[in-house]
Amino acid sequence: MKKFLFSIVSFFLLCVNASASEKLYLFHRYDCPHCQKEIAFLEEIKKGYPNVEFIYLEVVKRKENLKHLENVKQTLGDDTPYVPYAVIGNQSFIGFNEDTKEQIKKYLTYCSKNSCEDVVGKIIQEGRSISLVKKKAKTQEEFALPFLGKVNAKEVSLPLLSVILGFLDGFNPCAMWVLLFLISMLLGMKNKRRMWILGGGFLLASAITYALFLVAWFKINLALQDIFFLRTLIALFALGTGCFHLIRYRKMRHRKAGCTVVHEKRRNKIRKQIQMFTKEKSLVLGLIGVISLAISVNLIELACSAGFPLVYTQILSLNDLSFVASIIYILLYIFFYLIDDFLIFCIAMFTLKITGITNKYQQYSHLLGGLLLLLIGWFLLFHPKILLFSM
């Protein structure tokens, strides 16, 4: 009975504006900042489309709207969990950014001139998902891969990009020499527990420092994403750093792989610090020293790899993910960023022998990283939609 009454009320509400023949539905959450931005945008453009009715359906406080949203997604074949989720006719627009704005405007103009099927209206009226007469065109997103079976390109793209960028960023030798310094000192100790604690403390503090740095970039990108030239600036930065990596690759190609001797004064200072921390009688003081060293080294070395985190967090912010999802992606990036350091540390602790990674691979990481940054820069400038993996 309740359902029946609600259907009648909903239908009545939908029919109130008789002059508006076309409808735009926006499913939103009251606590979602992107949703508020989209509502403000829709209110702003509303006047330009007098024959379109704008209907806002909140999905947290009104559970029935959530049910409608699920039915609409099922009908339109969208399996995304994200809002804002706008629908005009049988076309859905997930998330909100500069491209969504353009697409919504285009589709509103189209439906204003050519009548579009009111799919959401029908679903609300019937209280269940419906089958469309004219299904919206779906792009080929699923690929069959050996061993893995069917893989959805959009679902794996962002995690894969996180893994690749994190791994390439981790190949950066800037902070590696400090870890090797530390391991060489730790191996001189007799207390294995102390070795694990000090080395592990260094790696954990490095991970947290870098993660905080990425979160800060991500927040800045989110806060400034309405500034239209920010994406252009980051795109140009990606192109610049991409070229820098390719130049480094070219230089390295013509010489033998090896360790470059730099930062003479700083190296001596860090060596003395590590000696002091590892010889410290109090484990707590030694750990504090090692953690402070990890923080300072990672902060100083940020300049070494600014290109990757900045570009990566821009892609995350473009994808309009929830904060928790973004943090999970950042942690994935950090995991692969530190995987080589972690492996070197563990091998050293188990075998009590220091190990390293040949610098031969460094040139290939410059090549791959450079090409990837150029590609991302190009996409950010001319085809940002390609980077919207979650939509």
Partner 1 sequence: MTVKRISAVWCSSCIVTYKDFISFKEEHAELPFFELDYDRDDIQNYHIKNILPVIIFEQEGREVARMEGEYTKKELEAMYEKISL
Q: Which residues sit at the interface with partner 1, rule CB under 8 A? A: 173, 176-178, 180-181, 184, 255-262, 267-268, 271, 354-360
Query: Residue written as tokens 């979650």?
Result: 390
Q: Which is nearer to partner 1, 120 or 185 (CB)?
A: 185
CB of 360 to partner 1, least distance (A): 7
Q: Which is nearer to partner 1, 26 or 178 (CB)?
A: 178
Q: Which is nearer to partner 1, 47 or 353 (CB)?
A: 353
Q: Which is nearer to partner 1, 78 or 301 (CB)?
A: 301
Strand partners, 52: 22
Q: Which is nearer to partner 1, 83 or 294 (CB)?
A: 294
- Reading the block at residue 81, the tokens are 């969990």
**What's phi and psi for 142, nearest 5 deg?**
-100, 135
CB of 297 to partner 1, least distance (A): 12
R_g of the chain computed on alpha carbons: 27
* Cβ-Cβ contacts under 8 Å for 181 (sequence gap 6 or more): 270, 271, 274
CB of 175 to partner 1, least distance (A): 11
Strand partners, 57: 27
Longest Cα separation, the chain: 84
CB of 368 to partner 1, least distance (A): 19
Say whether 367 sits in a helix, a strand or coil: helix
Reading phi first (left if > 0) and then psi (alpha if -120 to 50, else beta), residue 320 is in left
Q: How far apart are CA 259 and CA 196, in angstroms?
A: 26
Q: Which is nearer to partner 1, 216 or 257 (CB)?
A: 257
* Cβ-Cβ contacts under 8 Å for 365 (sequence gap 6 or more): 168, 171, 172
CB of 204 to partner 1, least distance (A): 21
CB of 187 to partner 1, least distance (A): 10
